[in-house]
């Protein structure tokens, strides 16, 4: 069945959370912190990452676009609009693992770029981890240029003074 891109609906929320947690194993900062420092509080990295999806769905100046195959969400991209700066941002992008490599991620990115243009953005931003080879291939291939690299640190402060 062909994949179509449409805005997310409230009824997608559970499925999009599932896509988020499945998609970001090994390629999220939340997971990396847990790998290095161990469990934090009562929640795991997946619960923390899943909350990002809620932020994406609930934000006022943003939208989530869904890749829909036969009525089921098989991927999504989230967008934020900074209208004053005219800078759009893509916080999250994920495609269900068994359907990757078929162009769905690229379709989502192209739909996101078109939406940024429609919303009057001048520039769009996206980030990827250095050890995410798909992101590092895909983003330049749709036209993003690398502008900076960042290193993320975390420290366990329980019991320290």
Residue 132 makes contact with ligand COA by CB under 6 A = yes
Binding of ligand COA by 120 (CB under 6 A): no
53: contact with ligand COA by CB under 6 A: no
Single out the segment in contact with ligand COA by CB under 6 A; choices: 9-17, 52-60, 104-112, 149-157. Answer: 104-112
**Which one, of 24, 17, 46, lies nearest residue 34 by Cα?**
46
By CB under 6 A, is residue 140 in contact with ligand COA? no
Closest CA to 34 of 67, 129, 43: 43
Among 3, 33, 93, 112, binds ligand COA (CB under 6 A): 93
Q: Which is nearer to ligand COA, 46 or 95 (CB)?
A: 95
101 binds ligand COA, rule: CB under 6 A:
yes
Asked if residue 142 lies in contact with residue 126, where contact means CB atoms within 8 angstroms, the answer is no
Number of residues that bind ligand COA (CB under 6 A): 21
Do 20 and 49 contact (CB within 8 A), yes or no? Answer: yes
Q: What is the separation, in whole angstroms, between the first and last Cα of the chain?
A: 58
CB 89 within 8 A of CB 126: yes
Q: In the complex, what is the shortest distance from the CB of residue 73 to ligand COA, in angstroms, rounded to a whole number?
A: 12
Q: Is 23 in the site for ligand COA (CB under 6 A)?
A: yes
Q: Which is nearer to ligand COA, 24 or 116 (CB)?
A: 24
Q: Residue 146 and residue 103: Cα distance in Å, rounded?
A: 22
Instruction: Name which of 21, 68, 29, 69 is nearest 47 in CA terms.
Output: 21
Beta carbon of residue 51, minimum distance to ligand COA (angstroms, whole number): 16
The radius of gyration of the chain from alpha carbons, rounded to an integer in Å, stands at: 16
Binding interface with ligand COA (CB under 6 A): 23-24, 27, 93-95, 100-106, 128, 132-135, 137-138, 141
């Amino acid at each position: 069945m062909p994949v179509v891109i449409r805005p997310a609906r409230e009824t997608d929320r559970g499925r999009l959370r599932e896509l988020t947690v499945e998609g970001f194993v090994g390629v999220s900062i939340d997971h990396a912190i847990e790998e290095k420092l161990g469990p934090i509080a009562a929640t795991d990295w997946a619960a923390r990452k899943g909350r990002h999806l809620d932020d994406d769905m609930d934000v006022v100046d943003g939208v989530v676009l869904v890749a829909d195959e036969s009525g089921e969400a098989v991927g999504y991209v989230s967008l934020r609009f900074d209208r004053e700066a005219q800078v759009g941002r893509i916080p999250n992008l994920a495609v269900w693992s068994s359907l990757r490599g078929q162009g769905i991620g690229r379709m989502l990115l192209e739909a996101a770029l078109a939406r940024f243009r429609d919303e009057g953005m001048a520039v769009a931003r996206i980030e990827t981890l250095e050890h995410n080879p798909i992101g590092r291939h895909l983003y330049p291939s749709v036209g993003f240029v690398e502008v900076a690299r960042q290193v993320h640190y975390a420290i366990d402060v329980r019991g320290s003074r």
